[in-house]
Chain A
Amino acid sequence: MFRTLRALAMAAPALLLSLPAFAEDAPKIDTGDTAWMLTSTALVLMMTIPGLALFYAGMVRKKTVLATMMQSFTITCLVTVVWMVAGYSLAFTNGSAYIGDLSRFFLNGLGADWDKPFTLGAGTEGAVVNTIPETVFMMFQMTFAIITPALITGAFADRMKFSAMVVFIVLWSLIVYSPIAHWVWAPTGWLGALGAADFAGGTVVHINAGIAGLVCALVLGKRLGYGHDNMAPHNLSLAVIGASLLWVGWFGFNAGSAVGANGRAGMAMAVTQIATAGAALAWTFAEWATKGKPSVLGAISGAVAGLVAITPASGFVLPGPGLIIGIVAGVVCFWSATSLKHMLGYDDSLDAFGVHGVGGIIGALLTGVFAYGPLSADKDHPAGVFIGGMAQLSHQAVAVLATLVWSGVLTFIILKVVDVIVGLRVTEEEEREGLDVVLHGERIN
Chain B
Amino acid sequence: MRAIAIALAHISHTSLSERVLRTTATGEHARDMKLIMAIIKPFKLDDVREALTPLGVQGLTVSEVKGFGRQKGQTEIYRGAEYHVNFLPKVKIEVVVGADLADAVVEAIIKSAHTGKIGDGKIFVIDIERAVRIRTGEADNAAL
Residues of A within 8 A of B (CB): 59, 230-233, 291, 293, 295, 297-298, 301, 337-339, 341-342, 351, 354
**Min CB gap B120→A, angstroms:** 26
Binary CB contact string for chain B from 72 to 102 against chain A (1 if under 8 A, 0 otherwise)? 0000111111010100000000000000000
**Min CB gap B83→A, angstroms:** 5
**Min CB gap A341→B, angstroms:** 7
Taking a contact as CB atoms under 8 Å apart, the answer to whether A231 and B81 are in contact is yes
Taking a contact as CB atoms under 8 Å apart, the answer to whether B78 and A339 are in contact is no
When A and B form their complex, what is the total count of cross-chain residue pairs whose Cβ atoms lie within 8 Å? 29
**Min CB gap A77→B, angstroms:** 30
Q: Which residues in B have their C-beta under 8 angstroms from that of A295?
A: 77-78
**How far, in angstroms, from A291 to B81 measured CA to CA in the complex?**
11
Q: Which residues in B have their C-beta under 8 angstroms from that of A338?
A: 79-80
Taking a contact as CB atoms under 8 Å apart, the answer to whether B83 and A301 are in contact is no
Taking a contact as CB atoms under 8 Å apart, the answer to whether B79 and A351 are in contact is yes
**Min CB gap B29→A, angstroms:** 44
State which of A231, A232, A337 has its C-beta within 8 Å of the C-beta of B80: A337
**How far, in angstroms, from A342 to B81 measured CA to CA in the complex?**
8
Taking a contact as CB atoms under 8 Å apart, the answer to whether B83 and A232 are in contact is yes
Taking a contact as CB atoms under 8 Å apart, the answer to whether B78 and A233 are in contact is yes
Taking a contact as CB atoms under 8 Å apart, the answer to whether B80 and A297 are in contact is no
Supply 28 A–B pairs (Cβ within 8 Å), ascending by A. Answer: A59-B78, A230-B83, A230-B85, A231-B81, A231-B83, A232-B76, A232-B78, A232-B83, A233-B78, A291-B77, A291-B80, A293-B77, A295-B77, A295-B78, A297-B78, A297-B79, A298-B79, A301-B79, A337-B79, A337-B80, A338-B79, A338-B80, A339-B80, A341-B80, A342-B80, A342-B81, A351-B79, A354-B79
**How far, in angstroms, from A341 to B79 measured CA to CA in the complex?**
10
Minimal Cβ-Cβ distance residue in B for A233 = B78
Minimal Cβ-Cβ distance residue in A for B77 = A291
Which has the most chain A C-beta neighbours within 10 Å: B76, B78, B83? Answer: B78
Which residues in chain B, 52-87, are within 8 Å of chain A measured between CB atoms? 76-81, 83, 85
**Min CB gap B86→A, angstroms:** 10
Across the A-B interface, the 5 shortest Cβ-Cβ residue pairs: A338-B80, A230-B83, A337-B79, A338-B79, A232-B83
**How far, in angstroms, from A297 to B78 measured CA to CA in the complex?**
7
**How far, in angstroms, from A230 to B85 measured CA to CA in the complex?**
9
Which has the most chain A C-beta neighbours within 10 Å: B76, B80, B81, B85? Answer: B80
**Min CB gap A133→B, angstroms:** 43
Q: Which residues in A have their C-beta under 8 angstroms from that of B78?
A: 59, 232-233, 295, 297
